[in-house]
Amino acid sequence: MAVLGWVSLRQWERAADLLVREQARDMASMAAEKVEMALDHAEDAFVDRLQALLTARGVDPAALEGLIAGEPLVRHLVLADTRGEVRYPRGAAAEAAPGASTARARRSVKARDVGPLVATFGLDVEALRRDVLPASLGPLGSGTILAVFDGEGRTVYAPATLEGAQPLQSVAFRAHLPDWRLTVYQPGGAAPRDAVRGQTRLFMGAFVVLLVIILAGSLLTWRLTRRETEMARLKSDFVANVSHDLKTPLSVIRMFGETLEMGRVTDEGGRQEYYRVITREAERLSRLIDNVLDFSRIEGGRRRYERVPTAVEPLLREALDAFAYPLQQQGFKVELVVAPDLPEVAMDPEAIGQALSNLVDNAIKYSAEDRVLSVAARVEAGELLLSVADRGVGIPAAEQARIFEKFYRVGRSDTQGRRGSGVGLALVRHVVEAHGGRVTVESAPGQGSRFTLRLPLA
């Protein structure tokens, strides 16, 4: 498009330049013809008066001088007979007269007492500049400058300055003004070439802006497409991970249920333990389903929280009790540290309990050989701090800002084998922020992680 536009504008420039030059040539010819006609009319009028005077009074020097004085366009007059003898003026004036004027005209006349004569008279340049040229050329110069130059290139007439003006066409005058020329100028900045070049610059500027918009739009589209592709992949992983998470408690429930059904547990204490395991795994299953449902409510803006004064320690113990079986099976050492005299805090106990459960579940899932789980509660600077710490694989500093994004999982080989829905930490952040608080993380690869929920007391 840029090439076609540039070629079209160049062709337009050449065509416009050619058209303007043709119009300038026609204007110059017309203007020169108009000046010639004005001079013809002025000379005819002078010759008519001269002929009338010669017919009435003959070659009368005083009368001829009076006639010349009344004609501002005529500067000198010489009358000679058919033999070449000068009849007017006489003496030194006759010798100086023919060369005293710049432009000359010759006409045949008759005198009463002499007979046929040749009248040669000069045209006054100042009278031409003052009277004839402005009247003849002034109406024609709209948008252009019409200038007249003599045979030596000197400016005789120019209605405006020629500095910076571009000459378009020049023509020569005919009989009255030999060697004089009339030139048509285009004022500076108004030449068609300049106008077209301005249009070219405007077009190229618009094209550059359009190109930038197209590139920016393409880049934005590419990024959006890439993000949509990534989100589609993450959602696919989410479905697979949620399915796997749901199968784990279901498998435990089924296995313990079948064991009880077949009567392999004979003592009452063993059966009660199996019942507790089934109950806890069912609660774990409910917790996983609640995570998915809450995430859907948060995405749709339908999640609501009911805050009531809540005791902190029972809430923490309840979250740990829900994971008693996996903690015992995997050999975790559990540390619970609760500061004395903690006040009741206004919160949604179900939502905060769910956030703590997600943190405990992650601590179990990403633990290493040193299986220690620490849960603590204390008051600091007007905030209730609930922390869950482990000594697991840890999180690189570069990825700590992104772990609270939905579907995001740390991209390391030692974490990829541990399945998860990818929405747990996103739910934690949303719950804490909905309570006017914030969640922080302290972690280093190989040294474990500490997540802290900071809830305002007020």
What's the pLDDT at 237? 64
Segments making up each domain of the chain, as ranges:
2-186, 302-456
Measured CA to CA, the distance from residue 180 to residue 147 in angstroms comes to 11
Tokens 């003496």 label which residue?
91
Measured at the CA of 414, the angle between CA 412 and CA 417, to 5 degrees, comes to 100
Strand partners, 373: 334, 390
Show the tokens assigned to 174: 């005919």
Bridge-based pairing state of the strands 308-310 and 86-88: unpaired
Tokens 């409910």 label which residue?
286
Contact 303, 295 (CB under 8 A): no
First-residue to last-residue Cα distance in the chain? 65
What's the pLDDT at 312? 94
pLDDT digits 0-9 by tens, 373-392: 999 999 999 999 999 999 99
- Name the CATH topology of 302-456: Heat Shock Protein 90 (3.30.565)
Burial per residue of 50-69, b for 16 or more beta-carbon CB atoms within 10 angstroms, e otherwise: bbebbeeeebbeeebeebbe
**394, burial (CB in 10 Å: exposed 0-12, middle 13-18, buried 19+):** buried
What's the pLDDT at 405? 83
What's the pLDDT at 97? 45
How many whole angstroms from its chain centre is CA 159? Answer: 45
What's the pLDDT at 375? 95
How many whole angstroms from its chain centre is CA 28? Answer: 47
Residue 375 neighbours by CB under 8 Å, 6+ apart: 316, 319, 320, 334, 335, 336, 337, 356, 360, 386, 387, 388, 389
Segments of the chain with pLDDT less than 50: 92-101, 412-417
pTM of the complete model beyond 0.75: no
What's the pLDDT at 240? 66
